[in-house]
Amino acid sequence: MNIEIKRIKYCKCGCKKVLKNQNKNFISGHNLRILSDTSKNKIANSRKGKSSWNKGIATPEKVKKKISKSLKGKSKTEEHNNKVSIALKNYHNNMSVDEKEKRRIKYSGRIVSVETRKLMSMRNKERYAKKEEREKISKSVKKLWKDFGYRKKQMDSQLLKKDKQSKSAIKRIKKNPRTAGGYGKQGYFYSKKNNKKLHYRSSYELIAYQILEQMTVVKSYETEPFAILYYFEGFKHRTIPDILVTYKTGLKEFIEVKALWRIEDNVEIAKFSAVENYAKENNMNFSIWTEKELGILN
């Protein structure tokens, strides 16, 4: 009897794994293990700037299912996770400012389909539903926030974000004052002193404009002239005074038009103090016009 002996072929990298395809010498990717660092660098340099063969080709559903099955139930060790996090941090820290900006532009404003969003939300719900997972996340976040450097970075990024938002809001309001909203009626008032229409966001502001028009001492006045920085609860903000009046004597004065019930608010007090300090530093006056000054209350 002729007995056929099948020879089992192993991967030549030394991992002692059986080759599925007996015609090959290595498992996919294992050939790089026996290469020296110089040859690895040569291959990396030759591939730089070239797009991969499978770029733009969607992964088939069968392959996705196979990958998910193979990864299910496999937990990565802490050493592996630490190595990955260190490698990613080093990669991000070594990136130039231009590269970071390119990546930001590339990934910002990406349109994600409704199905993908639903899948993401389902996965997150499943993940955070487990008590152990929530405890892990809370512990890691607490550790991070104990580090002063990390905390400072987060605070600075928030301040920069708020600063950008307030600048864009100021630009938007200047283009179209109606976008700022207001308490009560809004509209436009024609000013003879300024020879143009001025926007008002409340009936109180309209009364203030009418009073300034009748005052012979007033040369001109400007609505919402510019932004002034102020701090509230450790965060940087911007406030825009309601009116900047220029008198015939050359003196300038900021006027804030506010209701009596609003002037006792902590945020408003912080704004008033910032505008008042700016006025003092620049030899200007500051006043608050409420129902009393507007003649609404006797």
Q: Encode pLDDT of 34-61 as tens digits.
A: 777 787 788 778 877 776 767 777 788 8
pLDDT above 60 (res 179) = no
pLDDT above 60 (res 181) = no
In the chain, the percentage of residues whose pLDDT exceeds 90 is 18
Distance CA 122, CA 124 (A): 5
pLDDT above 90 (res 277) = yes
pLDDT above 80 (res 5) = no
Q: Encode pLDDT of 135-178 as tens digits.
A: 888 888 888 888 888 888 887 777 777 777 767 766 666 666 55
The pTM score is 0.44
The pLDDT of residue 114 is: 82
- Of 261, 231, 257, 230, the closest CA to residue 244 belongs to 257
The pLDDT of residue 14 is: 77
Distance CA 163, CA 66 (A): 47
The pLDDT of residue 180 is: 56
Average pLDDT, the chain: 81
pLDDT above 90 (res 184) = no
Q: Encode pLDDT of 196-239 as tens digits.
A: 888 888 888 999 999 999 999 999 999 988 888 888 887 778 88
Q: Encode pLDDT of 258-269 as tens digits.
A: 988 888 888 899
Residue span(s) of the chain under CATH 3.40.1350.10 come to 183-294
CATH number of 183-294: 3.40.1350.10
